[in-house]
Amino acid sequence: MGLGGCIILIAVGAILTFATDWHMQGVNLDVVGLILMAVGIIGVATFTNVARRRRVMVPPTTVVEERHHHRDEYGNGYGA
């Protein structure tokens, strides 16, 4: 589940908890909404933790370029 799915869970949970007044026999929608919000928040925390680990910066390395200079038979140099 990605970040979008987690945000959708939080939104649906908030709607069920705070914006509805439905009554279903045997189901407490307020508790269902709170559970959905909790799962969404845990998902966001997990997603950001994994994303932070992936963004670990590797220290830059120094690149050394070697050039070999050759001389012809008369002592004149030319670069390769």
Residues 6 or more apart whose CB falls under 8 angstroms from that of 18 comprise 33
Cα separation, 13 vs 41, in Å, equals: 11
Amino acid 46: pLDDT: 92
Q: Average of pLDDT values for 35-64?
A: 84
What are the structural domain ranges in the chain?
3-54
Cα separation, 31 vs 73, in Å, equals: 90
Q: Residue 71: is its pLDDT beyond 70? A: no
Residues 6 or more apart whose CB falls under 8 angstroms from that of 53 comprise none
Kindly report the pTM of this predicted structure.
0.63
Cα separation, 46 vs 7, in Å, equals: 13
